[in-house]
Amino acid sequence: MIILQNVFLNDKVCNILIDKNKIVKISDTINVPTDEVIDCTDKAIFPSFCNTHTHASMMFLRGIGEDKNLFDWLNQDIFPREAKLKPEHIYSLSRYALLEMIKTGTTCFTDMYFHVPETIKAVNEMGIRAVIPYPGMDFFDENEAENRIQLATKYLDEPSPNSRIKKALYCHAIYTCSEKLICAFSDLAKKYDTYLQIHVSETQKEVDDCIQKYGCRPVELLYQWGIMGPQTLFAHAVHLNDNELRLVKKTGTVLAHCPTSNLKLGSGQMSLQKYLDTGVKLTLGTDGVASNNSLSMISEMKLAALSAKNKADSVLAGKVEDIFQVATQNGFNGFGINAGTIEEGKLADFILVDMNNQFLLPNNNLKSNMIYAADSSCITDVFCDGKPVMRNKLILRENEIISDFKNVCADLLKQDLPTL
């Protein structure tokens, strides 16, 4: 058992008892024998963040292919370089991504990449949570669809190494995956009681192409195919009309908002406030660093708030409480994880922040400071599942993780494309 002593929570100082992986008591005084008492004087506690859309291993692509639209960026800069990745690269790239996530206060993420056992190995070692989906992309090749379905089944049949890691499935998008693959993956996800993710309506071009090919909009198509539901996550979902929003709400489908990536790739701006007012399950993701260019959920919250106000032309859009909830509680809820708030009975996933950090003073509104002023320098400690993954700003094996990452980048980028 651990006691967090004199920690600042919701505008007052209290003590918090953690037993195994849960917050069991929040009180003015706690008098029980414990393994450790952590002095939290001048520190505040917040729930950690849940990043519901990223591509962790894209770390080596940070800064490559700047100032291009989504389709040019993918086809000219990303897909050709990703083709050179080997499984051993993924482990090093994932570990480095997890380092950045932990430093910026994230203890749960969901990925979309390949060579997934390597990412699972990295998550297992680094001690945070993840939903790791098996990749689905067949480029409309029937044999490849069959192959993917068989491999995905095998992946789901093998148990996850621990309760922090959930196995799931993803299909890249309706423009890279056939109906056969998407529907089969959806059926598999239901059979194994797990999650299915897919990029949906990221750009207006995707919507226009879908109407031309299938005679309806992307969300309408996926609704007809029967893949929507509370265990389906649509990443981006920028260009949804009223009928599509109604279908999302009706089915309980979860949406991952990625404001930085959407703006940077010129994909468009989601009407965050309209989505929240409709009552859909909205969560927040960074997307990969190749289109962000960081994995910081703090930065993502700020842009989500500002772009919501801009899109709605109203200061009432993207309020502090709503944005914080989208980045924390809504994400964990989306994956059925009992975390995202600091309450008795919740899983002990949290961050401690230094209230004397220059970005957090004065403390007129700490949550607003976290969204609009903070950066990772404010975070001193990160706990996941009741265990520290960062203590006093230190992460285990940090130097080794960094030098390993630098070696992998040098190896991958030295054989770079002739166009560079």
3-state class (DSSP) for residue 110 = strand
- The phi, psi pair for 83, rounded to 5°, reads -65, -20
Q: Name the DSSP letter for residue 75.
A: I
Please work out the total of residues on this chain that contact Zn ion, with binding judged by CB under 5 A. Answer: 1
Beta bridge partners of 132: 167
Binding characters for Zn ion, 229-268, by CB under 5 A (x = yes): ----------------------------------------
3-state class (DSSP) for residue 278 = helix
Nearer to Zn ion, 292 or 325 (CB): 292
Nearer to Zn ion, 112 or 342 (CB): 112
CB neighbours of 389 closer than 8 A, spacing ≥ 6? Answer: 102, 107, 126, 127, 128, 382, 383, 395
Contact region for Zn ion (CB under 5 A) — 96-104, 150-158, 268-276, 283-291?
A: 283-291
Beta carbon of residue 235, minimum distance to Zn ion (angstroms, whole number): 5
Beta carbon of residue 57, minimum distance to Zn ion (angstroms, whole number): 12
Beta carbon of residue 66, minimum distance to Zn ion (angstroms, whole number): 17
Cβ–Cβ under 8 Å, residues 223 and 210: no
Nearer to Zn ion, 287 or 349 (CB): 287
Nearer to Zn ion, 70 or 353 (CB): 70
Beta carbon of residue 222, minimum distance to Zn ion (angstroms, whole number): 16
Strands 129-136 vs 165-173: parallel, antiparallel or unpaired? parallel
Contact region for Zn ion (CB under 5 A) — 94-102, 286-294, 298-306, 325-333?
A: 286-294
Beta carbon of residue 376, minimum distance to Zn ion (angstroms, whole number): 22
| Structure tokens given for 16 | 């918090």
Q: Name the DSSP letter for residue 355.
A: T
Nearest Cα residue to 188 out of 146, 223, 218, 250 = 146
Nearer to Zn ion, 287 or 322 (CB): 287
Contact region for Zn ion (CB under 5 A) — 175-183, 281-289, 338-346, 388-396?
A: 281-289
Contact region for Zn ion (CB under 5 A) — 25-33, 279-287, 299-307, 315-323?
A: 279-287
Q: Which residue is nearest to Zn ion (CB)?
A: 287
Nearest Cα residue to 284 out of 260, 266, 306 = 260
Nearer to Zn ion, 227 or 370 (CB): 227
Beta carbon of residue 25, minimum distance to Zn ion (angstroms, whole number): 40
Beta carbon of residue 202, minimum distance to Zn ion (angstroms, whole number): 8
Residues 76-105 that bind Zn ion (CB under 5 A): none
Q: For 196-242, give the secondary structure using H, E and C.
A: EEEEECCCHHHHHHHHHHHCCCHHHHHHHCCCCCCCEEEEECCCCCH
CB neighbours of 283 closer than 8 A, spacing ≥ 6? Answer: 50, 52, 233, 254, 255, 256, 257, 326, 327, 330, 331, 334
Contact region for Zn ion (CB under 5 A) — 75-83, 136-144, 158-166, 280-288?
A: 280-288
Nearest Cα residue to 39 out of 357, 362, 354 = 354
Nearer to Zn ion, 43 or 257 (CB): 257
Dihedral sign for Cα 372, 376, 377, 381, please: positive
Nearer to Zn ion, 287 or 381 (CB): 287
Contact region for Zn ion (CB under 5 A) — 11-19, 143-151, 285-293, 341-349?
A: 285-293
Residue 358 burial (CB count, 10 A) = 9
Beta carbon of residue 112, minimum distance to Zn ion (angstroms, whole number): 6
Query: How far lies 49's CA from each of 46, 108, 257, in Å?
Result: 9, 7, 14
- The span from the CA of 227 to the CA of 182, in Å, is 8
- The span from the CA of 254 to the CA of 197, in Å, is 9
Beta carbon of residue 52, minimum distance to Zn ion (angstroms, whole number): 11
Beta carbon of residue 288, minimum distance to Zn ion (angstroms, whole number): 6
Alpha helices per DSSP H over 284-334: 297-312, 320-327, 329-334
Nearer to Zn ion, 77 or 385 (CB): 77
Nearer to Zn ion, 49 or 113 (CB): 113
Nearer to Zn ion, 43 or 239 (CB): 239
Beta carbon of residue 77, minimum distance to Zn ion (angstroms, whole number): 14
Residues 287-306 that bind Zn ion (CB under 5 A): 287
Contact region for Zn ion (CB under 5 A) — 237-245, 246-254, 284-292, 356-364?
A: 284-292
**Interface contacts to Zn ion, rule CB under 5 A:** 287
